Structure 1
Amino acid sequence: MSGSGTTSPPVVRPRPLRPGDTIGICAPSMAHAARYPRRRERAVAHLEELGYRVRCGQNWLRDTGHTAGTAAERAADLHELYADDRVRAVMTSIGGYNANQLLDLLDYDLIRAHPKPLVGYSDTTALLVAIWQRTGTAVVLGPQLLPQWGEAGGSLEYTRRFFQRVLGSPEPLGPVPFPAEQVTEFLPWDEADDRPRTVLDAVPARALRAGRATGFLIGGNLETLLSLAGTPYWPELDGAILLLESTGTDPGRLTAQFTQLRHTGALDRIAGLALGRFTDPEFDRSDTLAELIAGETAGFAGPVVAGLPFGHTDPMLSLPFGARAELTSGPVCGLTVLDGAVSA
């Protein structure tokens, strides 16, 4: 089976991010930047070693329990970084649970007037979707400061290469090579994360429903996306290649979430479904995942591929919202990005 998506929505494309440019850092959710100073300093130093300047929001080291400051303070940092035209891209420090508090505080006219890519994943999905939906400004599902750039020995090469390629060039990625390695080991930050983590052979991508479809990229963390259902921030999905990933592997919980996704009508609108790797490689290989997805996407005509390298996985792709892409699901699974949707 095959399908083709609607025309990609228009994207406001800033110029490419180059060495010497400034990356702004904010903490829209958790306070981990304040709690893990060694990790934080190493991450900033790594970006500087790559040739970037780093500017941090005034409130990013606030620690008010489950968040890095009040919602107003966290929104103020985003406004500050967008308004500063020396800042060419904005990156989140880490995810969490409460970025959606910022959505009705953001000045979307300000963001539209100072276009620059916002980069992050996990809970940052709420900001990516809202800013994309309200402004058309380029956003990127990609690495965050602490988890990826704070790695001992520097970021993983695949993560770094695709971040710099997507944000630094207007050229499309074309066929995306998937990494041969995967890192799942967790070393407690600022206690034991003073060595590179163990590298494993990657779980290969696999077809859960065969087919081929073309559409525009959008998505992110499943739980966070579902928190937008029934709100004004739920995205337009007609013709999309929907990117979804989750940290959870409990079959009951995932079934409930995919049932909710189906109830939103999303599967009647999208062209294809791409699932990111789970944090447990055995779950990616499991019959449980295949059976769950088969049941919850019954009647969906488009391709479904699992095990793609985005979201809570290392190394990871950077994927721009709005880029046209072709998703292939079969004996060989593939993702081909057909245009550049970040820079012009």
Structure 2
Amino acid sequence: MIVKPSRLQRGDTVGIIAPASPPNLENLQRSLAFLSDLGLKVKMGQHVEQINGYLAGSDNERIEDLHTMFQDDEVKAIICAGGGYGTARIADRIDYSLVAANPKIFWGYSDITFLHQAFLKKTGLVTFHGPMLASDIGKEEVDELSKKLFSQLFAPEEFTYNEEISPLHTVVSGKASGQLIGGNLSLLTSTLGTQFELDTVGKLLLIEDVNEEPRAIDRMLNQLYMSGKLSQAAGIVIGDFANCVPSRNLSLSLDEVLNYYLKFVNKPALSGFKIGHCSPNISIPLGVVATLDADKKEFIVSAGVE
């Protein structure tokens, strides 16, 4: 069963948490003005400013902030301050019955992919893959479209991505519809063999990544291929692969790696989407039904809120 969270209204309170790495606090503070302009109030997680090496506090502290925000009736949406690393460490200790009993908007990307996958698998909750506060919105220069698409949290609206937003490239022709899943390729691959394992059967799979060499992308796509995940998908949406360039002369290019696997499995595939570690960073709901038309170069995503 798929559960769409309730839409936001002006005057609502959003909770901010850092379930992965320590956020840039200057950027985070700057982003609060954006939320205020949306008419939203803010409740900051108790441990957002904690630093534990590459983690924003201990595992228990990050879990506590997440649980607190889902438990708090005043909080209508939870927005992650940033990504980095750490969400997979807490996934098996989250109280999913608490999340299921208090479905609300949950927003982030990158390392947050593991939580998107976990929430969908355990509770059916539709979540949002979109720019985060310290990582994106709080920077001195932010693309207006990245900010504009927060509007989807206030009203149910179908979203169409076509070449008016960015150039798109047909890798494998065809049309496919299904539940939209996915996110960061590294995190998706890390779910294999766990209770949160990616299920792609009949679904549209979104992949994106950052700072990974083509051979690393090759390794991860090969693992998804050998586990049947690529072949079982109805279609594949290729987001942004930022700075995924070789560090040595003897290398396949990123496009050569992507094209090899996508053409091999022969499922409708379209690339060029500005979804991921890029600007603009187009936000979309995960868990909803979507349609990919690789020939028309069009991607239509259902509304993520009720």
Shift of 1:264: 1.7
Cα distance per residue 1:4-42 (max 9 Å; x no partner): xxxxxx32123211221111110011112xxx3321211
- Indicate conservation of the 8 Å contact 1:262/1:297, yes or no: no
**Alignment match of 2:271 (pick from 275, 299, 306):** 306
2:145 alignment counterpart: 158
Cα distance per residue 1:135-174 (max 9 Å; x no partner): 0112111111112220326x42211222212x2212322x
1:148 alignment counterpart: 136
Partner amino acid, structure 2, of 1:207: T
Identify if the C-alpha distance between structure 1 residues 281 and 100 changes in structure 2 by more than 3 Å, giving closer, same or farther: closer
Q: Secondary structure at the match of 2:223?
A: helix
Shift of 1:178: 5.0
1:234 alignment counterpart: 197
> Quick one: distance in 1 between partners of 2:216 and 2:74?
43
**Alignment match of 1:172 (pick from 141, 146, 158):** 158
**Alignment match of 2:71 (pick from 64, 83, 94):** 83
> Quick one: distance in 2 between partners of 1:116 and 1:179?
31
1:296 alignment counterpart: 261
Q: Secondary structure at the match of 2:62?
A: helix
Partner amino acid, structure 2, of 1:149: I
Shift of 1:114: 0.6
Shift of 1:310: 0.9
Cα distance per residue 1:28-86 (max 9 Å; x no partner): 11112xxx332121111221122111111111110111101111110110000000111
* 2:222 paired with 1:253: no
Partner amino acid, structure 1, of 2:97: D
Partner amino acid, structure 2, of 1:313: C
* 2:284 paired with 1:343: no
> Quick one: distance in 2 between partners of 1:281 and 1:48?
35
- Indicate conservation of the 8 Å contact 1:272/1:304, yes or no: yes
1:27 alignment counterpart: 18
Q: Secondary structure at the match of 2:210?
A: coil
Which consecutive residues of structure 2, in runs of 5 or more, have no partner in the other structure?
A: 247-251
> Quick one: distance in 1 between partners of 2:163 and 2:133?
22
> Quick one: distance in 2 between partners of 1:161 and 1:67?
30
1:224 alignment counterpart: 187
Q: Secondary structure at the match of 1:96?
A: coil
> Quick one: distance in 2 between partners of 1:281 and 1:328?
26
Cα distance per residue 1:66-122 (max 9 Å; x no partner): 101111110110000000111111111111122101111100000111100211100
Percent identical residues: 33
Shift of 1:249: 4.8
1:271 alignment counterpart: 234
RMSD: 1.9
Partner amino acid, structure 1, of 2:118: A
- Indicate conservation of the 8 Å contact 1:241/1:270, yes or no: yes
- Indicate conservation of the 8 Å contact 2:180/2:286, yes or no: yes
* 2:89 paired with 1:101: yes
Which consecutive residues of structure 1, in runs of 5 or more, have no partner in the other structure?
A: 1-9, 181-201
> Quick one: distance in 2 between partners of 1:328 and 1:290?
20
Q: How many residues align?
A: 301
- Indicate conservation of the 8 Å contact 1:178/1:308, yes or no: no
Shift of 1:254: 1.2
Cα distance per residue 1:179-200 (max 9 Å; x no partner): 65xxxxxxxxxxxxxxxxxxxx
